[in-house]
Amino acid sequence: MAAPRVEVDGGIMEGGGQILRVSTALSCLLGLTLRVQKIRAGRSTPGLRPQHLSGLEMIRDLCDGQLEGAEIGSTEIMFTPEKIKGGIHTADTKTAGSVCLLMQVSMPCVLFAASPSELRLKGGTNAEMAPQIDYTAMVFKPIVEKFGFTFNCDIKMRGYYPKGGGEVIVRMSPVKQLNPINLTDRGSVTKIYGRAFVAGVLPFKVAKDMAAAAVRCIRKEIRDLYVNIQPVQEPKDQAFGNGNGIIIIAETSTGCLFAGSSLGKRGVNADRVGIEAAEMLLSNLRHGGAVDEYLQDQLIIFMALATGISKIKTGPVTLHTQTAIHFAEQLAKAKFTVKKSEDEEDASKDTYIIECQGIGMTNPNL
């Protein structure tokens, strides 16, 4: 019996790589033959880039599937999944393409594999337009594990734009099913910490300047908390190329985590980088949600697969999140509702509750 087929328009809504990641992962999990057209139609260089291609090839290998039309610049692919298997899988963007985005597409799949998996992901660990690996390890990991699984994320080598060359090894065991989550009680901020790093030829002073500027910026708004941002010189044997950046995390009394981060670019002074990360963190703390703007869309696929009703409280719902919901509804038939929070303290804020009745995916192999 042939697998049911789904057609996806890769040019709508977010119009980028995220549509590809969400729809490929769901097609792999649900055994749907997938055709995606107009891939990244909204981007300045449409079609598949190296990181999207390496992600697709990895999913194909994870399930011994078939992939047609997958080459750099291609705007249409066809993917036919088979059974998801564990074991060792490698994906290499051969560029500074983000390892965190490779993780986003593969992680939901290997949770429903037949045996434990080791994913060797190569590319950029701290890249623009994607979560930094520190965000994945310090914010995404502890929150996503509330769905009832654990994973280990081993940063072997950091890699920066434009060379890449980073490597992260992710190990995880499959689960029978995912539990729903409820992230609606934000609590109060109890600590703020982070790391400001330099790698390669950049002087350590740059890390200290980023950290100091960030602390000054946060102090203007939050006076009563000690802000602990560690300046770090990345060891030569653990970083490929030159780079600098900062990530700052706020933790609350109920275990919610928020972050602000920024990467250095040529010609941008260190203070500016620190301030940008601090302002991003502060704006995420102002909206009253229990997850920050970068976590909301990453949780959608897990909410869709979980058993039962999941709820998260967010600030303004991002286009990435709306896109993830759209495809989770189209492919997985999960039911989402997004409505303004009715809590009194949220009345003056842009705060929303995203609720999902998950499909209760169960692992056929366990």
Residues 213-258 pLDDT 10s: 999 999 999 999 999 999 999 999 999 999 999 999 999 999 999 9
Neighbours of 127 (CB within 10 A): 28
Question: Exactly one of 52, 89, 287, 320 is catalytic; which is it?
Answer: 320
Both tokens assigned to 249: 């995390």
Contacts of 103 (CB under 8 A, 6+ apart): 119, 121, 136, 168, 170
pLDDT of amino acid 142: 98
In one-letter notation, the amino acid at residue 358 is: G
Both tokens assigned to 268: 């941008």
pLDDT of amino acid 91: 96
The total number of residues shown for the chain amounts to: 366
pLDDT by 10-residue block (mean), the chain, 366 residues: 85 94 97 97 92 96 96 97 96 95 97 97 94 97 98 97 95 98 97 98 97 98 96 97 97 98 95 98 95 97 98 97 98 97 87 98 93
Contact 257, 287 (CB under 8 A): no
Both tokens assigned to 222: 């939050």
pLDDT of amino acid 272: 98
Give dist(CA 10, CA 36) in Å, integer.
6
Both tokens assigned to 29: 């999990």
pLDDT of amino acid 2: 65
pLDDT of amino acid 1: 59
In one-letter notation, the amino acid at residue 287 is: H
Residue 320 is among the residues annotated as catalytic for this protein: yes
The alpha carbon torsion through 331, 334, 340, 341 (nearest 10 deg) reads: -140
Our CA angle for 172, 22, 82, nearest 5°, is 65
Q: Which of 123, 89, 122 is nearest to 106 (CA)?
A: 89
Contacts of 41 (CB under 8 A, 6+ apart): 10, 11, 15, 75
Q: For residue 344, with 0-12 CB atoms within 10 Å meaning exposed, 13-18 middle and 19 or more buried, which class applies?
A: exposed
Secondary structure string (H, E, C) spanning the chain? CCCCEEEEECCCCCCCHHHHHHHHHHHHHHCCEEEEECCCCCCCCCCCCHHHHHHHHHHHHHCCCEEECCCCCCCCEEEECCCCCCEEEEEECCCCCEHHHHHHHHHHHHCCCCCCEEEEEEEECECCCCCCHHHHHHHHHHHHHHHCCCEEEEEEEEEECCCECEEEEEEECCCCCCCCCEECCCCCEEEEEEEEEEECCCCHHHHHHHHHHHHHHHHHHCCCCCEEEEEEECCHHHEECCEEEEEEEEEECCCCEEEEEEECCCCCCHHHHHHHHHHHHHHHHHCCCCCCCCCHHHHHHHHHHCCCEEEEEECCCCHHHHHHHHHHHHHHCCEEEEEECCCHHHCCCCCEEEEEECCCCCCCCC
Sign of the Cα pseudo-torsion (133, 136, 142, 147, in order) = negative
Give dist(CA 328, CA 318) in Å, integer.
15
Give dist(CA 300, CA 19) in Å, integer.
13
Give dist(CA 120, CA 61) in Å, integer.
13
